[in-house]
Structure 1
Amino acid sequence: MFDLFFKKLEDRISLTDAEKELIKSHLIPKKLRRRQYLLQEGEVCKYAAFVTKGALRAYTVDEKDNEHIVQFALEGWMISDLYSFITGEPATYTIDALEDSELILMSQASRQELMQQIPSFLQFSYFQIQNAYIALQRRITDLISLSTEEKYTKLIKTYPHIVERVPQHMIASYLGLTPETLSRTRKQMAKNK
């Protein structure tokens, strides 16, 4: 279960066997059934989750009961309510499993301890936060500047596995569209091919 986690980690940093064992001692394996929550809005996000199997989503629900998906996570990806995880404030997102999933969890206290004990883990954590910020900035720019067709095309090219595994109404939510708008866009794109 830890193989994929350590492969991703070692793609970025070098670790000794002792460092791997120390990191492993801080990891918590967790299984979620489809539709089971990892985090609910209002709770404090105590863990960052690395997906080893399955698919999850992070979303918020507005006052009209509409879901707004902000992130998907498939195998090899991390997911959390980063603001809540870092600050200890209540989460604004709910995270649940779209498929039966297997995760590796790490608490903020464990993350802090590992960053102090393993200098390269500090480097890895910095890299993770930096990439999360870059992805967020790109996502915001895309949402406000791309056309509906451009948003969908970019999603297909960048994350083809999401489109294969996630229902279209959730993809529409992620893109800031109604399911009907996404359906019309897909039909128009198919017609134009």
Structure 2
Amino acid sequence: MTDVLKDYLQNNSQICDSDVKLICDLAVPRQLRKGEFLLEQGAICRHKTFIAKGLLRTYSLTADGHEHILQFAPENTWTLDAESYNKTVPSKYNISAVENSRVLMWAKPDFDHLLLAVPALKLFSDHIISENVQATRNRLHTILSAGPEERYEDFLKNTPHLLQRLPLKMIAAYLGISLKTLNRVRQAQLQRI
């Protein structure tokens, strides 16, 4: 599993091979079955997690059971609840496997040590955080300002690789629309082709 991480770091960062080995040596592998939780609402997020294979989602549930999906994390991405992780407070979110997944995890003390010991990892981590903030802002703007059709088009444009891997009800929850509305939007799109 660490081979995937090695390739990812060598292709996307300036981290030298000896530091990549150090990062991999501190990683704890874990396998998740479809539907299994990596983090449950109310627990404290104590790990940064790299997805080597599979797909995870971060979501919350309303009192009446509706799901609001904040993020999907496919292969070669990272996931955590940053607020819970940084402040050691109970998480407001669940993170679970959409499909069978293999992940690598670092406990906060270990990852904090790596950030100090490997300056290139700190730079890379800051870059990822900055990209995630920008993507989150763009997504929030789309959710607030676009109709269902534009939201779906944005999803297709930015994450076409996820379309075949997700049930429609999860896509609808991610877009903040009902499944009925998503089906209507998709049907209208098909008629235009």
Same fold (TM over 0.5): yes
Distance 2:17 2:190 in 1: 52
Q: How does 1:1-193 map to 2 (within 5 A)?
A: 1-193=1-193
4+ runs deviating over 3 angstroms: none
Cα drift, residue 185 of structure 1: 0.7
What TM-score results when the alignment is normalised by the length of structure 2? 0.95
User: Do the aligned residues in 1 keep the contact of 2:51 with 2:102 (CA within 8 Å)?
Assistant: yes
Shift of 1:88: 1.1
Q: 1: distance between equivalents of 2:69 and 2:20?
A: 34
Q: Percent identity?
A: 31
Alignment gaps of 5+ in structure 2? none
Q: Tell me, which stretches of 5 or more residues in structure 1 are unaligned?
A: none
Normalised by the length of structure 1, the TM-score is 0.95
Per-residue deviation, residues 114-140 of structure 1 (Å, max 9, x unmatched): 111111111011112111211111111
Contact 2:33 2:99 in 1 (8 A): yes
SS at match of 1:96: strand
Aligned mates of 1:65, 1:140 — CA distance in 2: 22
Question: Matches of 2:16 and 2:152 in 1, distance apart?
Answer: 42
Q: Which amino acid is the alignment partner of residue 128 of structure 2?
A: Q
Q: What is the rounded CA distance, in whole Å, between the counterparts of 1:132 and 1:85 in structure 2?
A: 16
Deviations 1:94-147 (A, max 9, x none): 011111110011222122111111111110111121112111111110101112
- One-letter code aligned to 2:116: Q
Does the Cα contact within 8 Å between 2:52 and 2:75 map onto a contact in 1?
yes
Secondary structure at the aligned position of 1:56 is classed as strand
State the AA in 1 paired with 2:84: S
Q: Is the 8 A contact 2:5 2:24 kept in 1?
A: no
Q: Report the aligned-residue RMSD.
A: 1.2
The code of the aligned residue for 2:45 comes to C
For 2:10 and 2:130, locate their aligned partners in 1 and report how far apart those are by CA, in whole Å: 17
8 Å CA contact retained: 1:9, 1:124: no
Partner Cα distance (1:95, 1:64) in 2:
19
Classify the secondary structure of the residue corresponding to 1:95.
strand
- Displacement of 1:29: 0.6
User: Offset at 1:3?
Assistant: 2.1
Deviations 1:34-77 (A, max 9, x none): 11110000100011211111111110001111111111111111
Whole-Å separation in 1 of the counterparts to 2:171 and 2:15: 37
Count of residue pairs the alignment pairs up: 193
